Amino acid sequence: MLSVRSINPMNSQPLSRRRFVGAAGLVAGSMITRPLFGADAPSHKLNVALIGVWGRGLAHYEAISEENVVALCDINEARFPDALKRFPNATTYVDWRKCLDHKGLDAVVICTSDHTHAFIANWALKRDLHVYCEKPLAITVNEARAVRATWESKKGKLATQVGMQRHAQQNFNRVRELVRDGAIGELKSSYAWGNRKLPKPGYFPEEGTPPKGFNYDLWLGPSPYHPYNPAYFSGAAGANCLSWNMFWDFGAGQIGDMGSHTMDLLWNAIDAELPTSAEAKGEAMNSDVTPVECESHFEHPANDWRGPITVSWFQGGAMPRSPKPFIDLTKIGHGVMFKGTKGFLVADFDSRMIVPFGDEADLTYYKPRTAETLLPPVGVFQKQWFDACRDPSKKTACDFGYSSNMIEQMLLGLVAYRVGKKIQYDPKTGTSPDTPEANVFMGKQYREGWSIDG
């Protein structure tokens, strides 16, 4: 009988339980028809932990209930009774560091506040766990780089996905096809914007004490200390992030909020890696709160199908210029625009339009795809990740490579905003060669006892 550290005849490497779950799935019907361990092993279910069980966590209940939910983690113990009704066999944890060491765990879904995402994701990868992390993957440039470095060291072995689930909407593929296939000629610039405004004067002042079972110190986690105030936790399920994500120590403002989704629509069409410069401007700097109104601009090198391009992000009232006065871009709350040598493409999450311009823009240079050559649909976004957990050679749409690059670019915009001038960026080192004072803003101070490299 095979043991947990079974030998894979293909490569003579010991198989972990997790890899065995995948391998058993692949060989079902051939010699090995039943995996050999775990109450649920015959169905090849993954042992999953949900970290952050309420709010956004609720949106994952359906997808994870197809698997074996073995652990539930939340700093707010009042959330456990309801979660346990759905997942009665799970062990509960208030500290994600302990949860990640749950025996036999295969995969984690992270739905906590933004300032813990990169920490939990990085720790989980280091424990060889598959990771689904809600957006944004990080709140500083250095956090994004740390997660990517770990992900690269595990590439092809672990499945990752950042919760930018709008990516599964068909329009993402259609926009990409139009840009790639030359419907607007040669791509030159691209723009994304969002109009959500969540102004706040500063961190909330100390008020009251955390309710029993609400582990505020664990909620703060790696963040510098800020006193408790119930206003951080007064939002509706799935929208409570709008109570804390604008503060520098807890989030990245609209960049991490709607900006992640909207920039994903843009990034999906440009095949970019990291930019070589950033510049930004916006309202006056507030040391507590990220800017509401702000715009940032990045230069990206050429790739194998296009020349160098610029990428711009606008938020909180800042907007790109419309290609024509009769097109009111402000009617699109969260949108993107691409400018090519022969026209513009404007899109929101589920629709798009082409605006050809100039005497040459007769569209003869553009051949629409046939039904057979359309990009294949992503399908159910969480399922794509679970499929990749079973077979990590399968791609996920928003893996930690793509998603860390995207958020690193966005967060670099906040660095340029804080420095107040255009900075050059060296993607290899994550530093600015011409503006050393920018480097201090690539990372941040954490509370003693917390390290991203756990």
Ligand X SMILES: NC(=O)c1ccc[n+]([C@@H]2O[C@H](COP(=O)([O-])OP(=O)(O)OC[C@H]3O[C@@H](n4cnc5c(N)ncnc54)[C@H](O)[C@@H]3O)[C@@H](O)[C@H]2O)c1
Sites of contact with ligand X (CB under 6 A): 51-57, 73-76, 79, 96, 111-114, 116, 134-135, 163, 165, 218-219, 221, 238-241
Dmax of the chain from CA atoms?
74
Cis peptide upstream of residue 376 (ω within 30 degrees of 0): no
Choice between 134 and 408, CB closer to ligand X: 134
Task: Report in angstroms how near the CB of residue 417 gets to ligand X at its nearest.
Answer: 20
Residues in Cβ contact with 312 at an 8 Å cutoff, skipping those fewer than 6 apart: 189, 190, 191, 192, 295, 296, 297, 298, 320
Task: Report in angstroms how near the CB of residue 398 gets to ligand X at its nearest.
Answer: 10
Task: Report in angstroms how near the CB of residue 189 gets to ligand X at its nearest.
Answer: 27
Choice between 19 and 117, CB closer to ligand X: 117
The Cα 443–Cα 452 span in angstroms is 12
Task: Residue count of the chain, please give it.
Answer: 454
Task: Report in angstroms how near the CB of residue 3 gets to ligand X at its nearest.
Answer: 34
Give the residue nearest to ligand X (CB). 55
Task: Report in angstroms how near the CB of residue 53 gets to ligand X at its nearest.
Answer: 6
Task: Report in angstroms how near the CB of residue 111 gets to ligand X at its nearest.
Answer: 5
Task: Report in angstroms how near the CB of residue 132 gets to ligand X at its nearest.
Answer: 10
Task: Report in angstroms how near the CB of residue 166 gets to ligand X at its nearest.
Answer: 7
Choice between 243 and 439, CB closer to ligand X: 243
Choice between 23 and 73, CB closer to ligand X: 73
Choice between 53 and 184, CB closer to ligand X: 53
Task: Report in angstroms how near the CB of residue 279 gets to ligand X at its nearest.
Answer: 26
Nearest of 445, 313, 391 to residue 23 by alpha carbon: 391
Task: Report in angstroms how near the CB of residue 115 gets to ligand X at its nearest.
Answer: 8
Choice between 100 and 159, CB closer to ligand X: 100
- Mind spelling out the 3-state secondary structure of the chain? CCCCCCECCCCCCECCHHHHHHHHHHHCCCCCCCCCCCCCHHHCCCEEEEECCCHHHHHHHHHHCCCEEEEEECCEHHHHHHHHHHCCCCEEECCHHHHCCCCCCCEEEECCCHHHHHHHHHHHHHCCCEEEECCCCCCCHHHHHHHHHHHHHCCCCCCEEECCHHHHCHHHHHHHHHHHCCCCCCEEEEEEEECCCCCCCCCCCCCCCCCCCECHHHHHCCCCCCCCCHHHHCCCCCCHHHHCCCECCCCCHHHCCHHHHHHHHHHCCCCCCCCCEEEEEECCCCCCECCCCEEEEEEECCCCCCCCEEEEEEEECECCCCCCCCCCHHHCCEEEEEEECCEEEEECCCCEEEEECCCCCCCCCCCCCCHHHCCCCCCCHHHHHHHHHHCCCCCCCCCHHHHHHHHHHHHHHHHHHHHCCCEECECCCCECCCCHHHHHHHCCCCCCCCCCCC
